């Protein structure tokens, strides 16, 4: 299933140090954001996206609204059996971590999705439906720091590998099976505490690495007749480190190195998206040029339903314009999501179920009080079928006889018309008025007889076709 990357824009609320006079971005409608250049207020650029979210006085409502309008659909896609991916992109300090992870008081997309996933699991497993569904949920958490993949939930060394089918995976990454929402949120909290953050002039809690929280969901649905439907899906929730300018962030030393590697990986991501957005894609896409794009190969151009959330600042014209141009390009990228399902039949279970149904039918028949009445009804049905069978045979023979007579009459009519036509043609040069008129009248009469035969044929044929279809068994 081919589908474009869905792109949403989220406009951050101005900070206390940002005056209202410096605001250059404004969400005009659900799908339109407007950007004005401060030096030239008359120059306005409009950008259209799948969803544009602004801020309100209630941060809790803003977080809940974004999840309900955007992220919930990707949980539903995953439950259907599709791989999904949501990643937040933007400059440092634009609200990416707030959008994806949030806080205990203002949870973001990741904890809300975990909460709803286990609510769905509980609903399925406690359902009274005959079909039963079992869930197996596992999670992992990694970061890409200075082009090195690190497991945030374990101590193993991780490397990016490629399978025979050209998909990639992280070797050495630990996965943990979880059975409750508290358990998965505890893993999320542990990993978030271990990820690399640092202070810059732009953001006191700036993410210095890209983080990927992955939830793998396996569903096994068993029907009473032995049909087994298995669904497998992967949900990738990604918080990208922010693009930054060294002169604005004031980074030096280790922070400068981190910023350089962040910008390098984001630049590679931009080149990959630009190539994937072309109608005629080049044969070689530079996924391997950065660890980030190598890990996200399937999410960017493969088997995934992917969404990008472009987080923008309301007061930084250059960075906001750069992010919006980047997001516009991403809308042209197509992915090819496929249902990861497998249906099998358990023959032993199916046989037992059919035997049980047969026993129930036999029991129902044994409880019929008047067996004589049942036999009489069956005899009546048999006689009725014989009568209908004989009637259909008579009508079939009548139809055959009629078609034979009709064919013979049609042939004789055609011969007569030909004879009359030749006679009329031969008399065109003679002045035998009455004879010629009589012959013309005879020809017209012949044609009227032919039309009447044709009308009778259509009427009888319609009556035959209108006979109901009868089951003779």
HSE-CB for 109 with a 13 A CA cutoff: 30
Question: Residue 215 and residue 235: Cα distance in Å, rounded?
Answer: 5
Distances (CA, A) of 317 to 14, 36, 45: 13, 8, 11
Burial of 317 (0-12, 13-18, 19+ CB in 10 A): middle
Own/partner long-range contacts of 179-188 (Cβ < 8 Å, ≥24 apart): 179/137, 180/118, 181/114, 181/115, 181/117, 181/118, 181/119, 184/114, 184/118, 184/137, 184/139, 184/215, 185/111, 185/114, 187/139, 187/141, 187/153, 188/101, 188/110, 188/111, 188/114, 188/139, 188/141, 188/213
Contact 136, 234 (CB under 8 A): no
Burial of 262 (0-12, 13-18, 19+ CB in 10 A): buried
Contact 309, 52 (CB under 8 A): no
Contact 144, 265 (CB under 8 A): yes
Two tokens, residue 366: 């044994």
| Sign for the pseudo-dihedral over CA of 234, 235, 239, 243 | positive
Q: If you ran DSSP here, which 8-state letter would residue 20 be given?
A: G
> Residue positions in the annotated binding site for ATP?
90-97
Question: Residue 462 and residue 127: Cα distance in Å, rounded?
Answer: 54
Question: What are the residues whose beta carbons fall under 8 Å from the beta carbon of 5, sequence distance 6 or more?
Answer: 300, 306, 307, 308, 330, 331, 333, 334, 335
Question: Residue 195 and residue 154: Cα distance in Å, rounded?
Answer: 12
Question: What are the residues whose beta carbons fall under 8 Å from the beta carbon of 330, sequence distance 6 or more?
Answer: 5, 7, 273, 277, 308
> Residue positions in the annotated binding site?
90-97
Question: What are the residues whose beta carbons fall under 8 Å from the beta carbon of 448, sequence distance 6 or more?
Answer: none
Question: Residue 447 and residue 421: Cα distance in Å, rounded?
Answer: 12
């Amino acid at each position: 299933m081919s589908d474009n990357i869905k792109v949403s824009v989220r406009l951050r609320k101005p900070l206390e140090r940002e005056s209202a006079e410096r605001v250059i971005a404004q969400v005009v409608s659900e799908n339109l954001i407007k950007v004005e250049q401060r030096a030239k207020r008359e120059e306005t650029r409009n950008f259209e996206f799948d969803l544009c979210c602004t801020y309100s006085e209630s941060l809790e409502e803003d977080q809940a609204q974004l999840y309900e309008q955007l992220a919930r659909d990707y949980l539903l896609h995953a439950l259907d059996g599709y791989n999904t991916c949501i990643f937040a992109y933007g400059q440092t300090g634009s609200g990416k971590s707030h959008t994806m992870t949030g806080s205990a008081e203002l949870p973001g997309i990741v904890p809300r999705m975990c909460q709803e996933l286990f609510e769905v699991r509980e609903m399925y497993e406690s359902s009274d439906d005959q079909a039963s569904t079992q869930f197996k949920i596992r999670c992992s958490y990694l970061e890409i720091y200075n082009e090195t993949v690190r497991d945030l939930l374990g101590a193993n060394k991780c490397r990016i590998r490629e399978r025979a089918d050209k998909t990639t995976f992280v070797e050495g990454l630990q996965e943990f099976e979880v059975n409750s929402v508290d358990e998965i949120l505890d893993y999320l909290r542990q990993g978030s505490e271990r990820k690399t953050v640092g202070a810059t002039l732009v953001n006191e809690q700036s993410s210095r690495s890209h983080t990927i929280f992955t939830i793998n969901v396996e569903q096994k649905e068993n029907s009473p007749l032995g049909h087994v439907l298995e669904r497998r899906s992967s949900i990738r929730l990604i918080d990208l480190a922010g693009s930054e300018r060294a002169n604005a962030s004031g980074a030096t030393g280790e922070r400068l190195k981190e910023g350089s590697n962040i910008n390098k990986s984001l630049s590679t991501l931009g080149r990959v998206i630009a190539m994937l957005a072309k109608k005629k894609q080049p044969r070689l896409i530079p996924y391997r040029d950065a660890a980030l794009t190598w890990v996200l190969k399937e999410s960017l151009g493969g088997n995934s339903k992917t969404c990008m959330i472009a987080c923008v600042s309301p007061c930084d014209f250059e960075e906001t314009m750069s992010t919006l141009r980047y997001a516009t390009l991403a809308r042209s990228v197509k992915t090819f999501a496929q249902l990861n399902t497998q249906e099998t039949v358990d023959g032993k279970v199916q046989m037992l179920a059919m035997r049980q149904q047969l026993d129930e039918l036999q029991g129902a028949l044994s409880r019929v009080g008047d067996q004589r009445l049942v036999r009489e009804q069956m005899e009546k049905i048999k006689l009725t079928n014989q009568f209908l069978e004989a009637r259909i045979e008579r009508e079939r023979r009548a139809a055959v006889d009629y078609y034979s007579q009709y064919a013979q009459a049609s042939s004789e009519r055609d011969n007569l018309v030909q004879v009359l036509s030749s006679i009329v043609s031969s008399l065109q040069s003679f002045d035998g008025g009455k004879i010629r008129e009589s012959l013309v009248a005879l020809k017209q009469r012949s044609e009227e007889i032919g039309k009447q035969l044709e009308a009778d044929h259509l009427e009888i044929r319609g009556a035959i076709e209108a006979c109901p279809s009868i089951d003779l068994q």
